Amino acid sequence: MLINFNFRNFRSISKDCSFSMEAAPTREPGDSIHMRQGYKLLPVSVFYGANSSGKSNVLQAMMTMRQLVLQSVKLNPDDELHYEPFELNTHSPNEPTMFEVQFIQDDVVYRYGFEYDRTVIHKEWLFEKRAGEREFNLFARIDSDFDISEKRFPEGIGKESSTERNRLFISLVAQLKGEISKSILAWFRRCAYLWGLTTDGYEGFTIKMLKEKTEGYRKAMQFFHHVQLGFNDISFSEEVLIDLSDKLNIKPGDARDKIKDQVVFEIEMLTSHNVYGDDGSVVGQKNFSKDDKESEGTKKVIEMSGPIFDTLLHGKLLLVDEIDAKLHPLLTMNIVKLFMNKDTNPNGAQLIFTTHDTHLLNLSLLRRDMVWFTEKDSEESTDIYSLAEFKDVSKFSPRDVEKDYIDGRYGAIPFMQ
């Protein structure tokens, strides 16, 4: 589970920013909190802010760190890194970007981070904290100088000279079968990102889950029925678009897998609806093309279901930018409730998302420490802060938070004259 994320000099963010999934010491309900290695961790966090305030950049910072960690092993020595510094002052474009994440993996608390620019990893570090122990430094790197713990990180000894200036040490050691390093990379692989306005990159995952009825299928269908999307079931039709078996002289007796590889199918998702008689009774079923007949909101809920229920089943981390796009507020609320309820989220899955849907600003649904705001300062740099920093919010009724936000009490709204 994610504990903290710290970052600096990325896109609209010039200064040090810290985001936490640790529960703040409030008197609000703690039924949704997960206890892990002495930490009280939240299952949900939401970011509010005006357009262009930097909400998306917070999520993009996390995913850029993930990309750098997982793609580092593929870099050639002269390849450039994904470097997007803040450009609206005179010094940031010449300074490194910094990412640091603290998380729990395999019952160990790790703190890992690095600083880099377009061509060089300038600093890199890894700490661990095991049950009953203090935090220990496993390795520290400053440019080409390394300080590696022989006792706690022996897998890194002797690998220093093989690390190119633009490659992360943790990724190299993981590639060379280092167990701790592989565990670090495994955590990053358990983080996924969705953009609410498109299904690019994840619709295929959902189709596979629903078509093959793999893990998550049953939970997804229960959710569709719970939120009353209007259909009874989902099925699939397949149409052959390309069949090269004849041209390649593949005969019916040849290996089935070989034939299958030469056939390209178009898969269409169908939703089943009741057909009613004159007396209002159900007399049959009618299948509709999901893409042609269903609403944009229904299509989005279906398409998002694969990543959502995979995250819930396996205790992963899911980032969703503009989760409310195309969705009715009650649909968005029900997705959030899946993560808030330990019956549907027993494994500590976490959801972090951005939204403009103020209906979620209700303290009977979300705790104050789950609500974050983004706002730009006088130099157009993004700052982030939590609703938990406003100490007197509890004096108001839970439903007053939405009104207070719209009225500008917490900032992070557009200023119009």
Q: Is the pLDDT of residue 245 over 70?
A: no
pLDDT at 175: 96
Residue 204 pLDDT level (bands cut at 50, 70, 90): confident
Q: How far is Cα 254 from Cα 6, in angstroms, rounded to an integer?
A: 56
Place of tokens 């890894």: 126
Burial of 4 (C-beta count, 10 Å sphere; 0-12/13-18/19+): middle
Identify the bridge partners of residue 191 per DSSP, sorted by sequence position. Answer: 317
263-276: strand order across its sheet = 233-243, 263-276, 282-289
Nearest of 196, 275, 205, 267 to residue 238 by alpha carbon: 267
pLDDT tens-place string over residues 159-175: 999 999 999 999 999 99
pLDDT at 44: 98
Identify the bridge partners of residue 287 per DSSP, sorted by sequence position. Answer: 272
**Three-state secondary structure call for residue 287:** strand
Residue 46 pLDDT level (bands cut at 50, 70, 90): very high
pLDDT tens-place string over residues 377-405: 999 999 999 999 987 664 445 557 888 88
Q: Is the pLDDT of residue 260 over 90?
A: no
pLDDT at 417: 46
What single-letter amino acid sits at 408? Answer: G
Q: How far is Cα 11 from Cα 63, in angstroms, rounded to an integer?
A: 13
Q: Is the pLDDT of residue 258 over 70?
A: no
Domains of the chain from N-terminus onward:
2-190+343-406 (3.40.50), 202-312 (no CATH)
Beta strands in 13-152 (DSSP E): 17-20, 34-36, 39-41, 44-49, 97-105, 108-116, 121-129, 136-142, 145-148
Kindly state the average pLDDT of the residues 196-221.
88
pTM of the model: 0.91
Q: Is the pLDDT of residue 246 over 70?
A: no
Query: Mean of the per-residue pLDDT values for the chain?
Result: 91
Place of tokens 């009618």: 286
What single-letter amino acid sits at 273? Answer: H
